[in-house]
Amino acid sequence: MFFWDPTMVLLIPAILLSLYAQFKISSAYNRYSKVRAQSGLTGAQVARGILNSNGLYDVRVEPVGGRLSDHYDPRTRIIRLSEDVFYGSSLSSIAVAAHETGHALQHASGYFPMQLRSSFVPVANIGSGAGPILIMIGLFMPTYGWLLELGIFAFAFAVLFQVITLPVEYNASSRALSLLQEGRMLGSEEIGGARSVLNAAALTYVAAALAAILQLLRFMLIARGRSDD
């Protein structure tokens, strides 16, 4: 069977890391969402302050529904913060807001890994959606076996996107912590809490990249097995 075969064991490390990463981000976020920043600033105020201090007056900051739905949209140049982050003044809220603002600064400065990741979005979306479908067709319909290789090739772009995402996210977190310290938005005794939240969030991207890499390796092993038959 395609979904249940010995190669499935390759995914176990990624599954375990993903579970651990989800536990860490949930634990860290919940813990520091209960700790109010001494400055009393909200996530929205922190984002706006960092943007203004860097001359990015045209980048908007807006609230958005959902939990941990925070993101920066480079197409519209809008930072969207979940309501807990937008209105909250906890260490978690400030850390997340500063991180997303870090992406806006990356965009404004032409940070190459971010530009590269943005250029990969279209092919990565196709690869993650169509890749596995082409692979299944190639496996179950020998007449169209060439689709197996095409699917693996397409899925490789989705994997590459996940890998490129890592330096983008880590750099945004590094910028966030530096900006929070330089702008005195968090005290020296509060930075540790913000760092814990951002490190936990970064681990989820590591888990996603590992899962994608191991899934690609699994597909390649399945294809090799078929070619040897």
* pLDDT tens profile 85-132: 999 999 999 999 999 999 999 999 999 999 999 999 999 999 999 999
**Residue 92 included in any domain:** yes
**Residue 65 included in any domain:** yes
Query: Model's pTM, two decimal places?
Result: 0.89
Q: How confident is the model at residue 68 (pLDDT cuts 50, 70, 90)?
A: confident
| Total domains in the fold of the chain | 1
Q: What is the DSSP letter of 36?
A: B
Which member of 100, 149, 182, 189 is catalytic? 100
**Residue 103 included in any domain:** yes
**Residue 22 included in any domain:** yes
| Domain of residue 144, residue span | 9-228
- 8 Å CB contact between 147 and 138: yes
**Residue 185 included in any domain:** yes
**Residue 2 included in any domain:** no
Helices (H) and strands (E) in the chain, counts: 7, 3
**Residue 40 included in any domain:** yes
Q: Is the per-residue pLDDT at 1 higher than 70?
A: no
Provide the token pair at 228. 């040897």
Distance CA 173, CA 96 (A): 9
**Residue 20 included in any domain:** yes
Which whole number is the average pLDDT over 136-156?
Answer: 87
189 is catalytic: no
Q: What is the pLDDT of residues 179-211, one digit of tens each?
A: 999 999 999 999 999 999 999 999 999 999 999
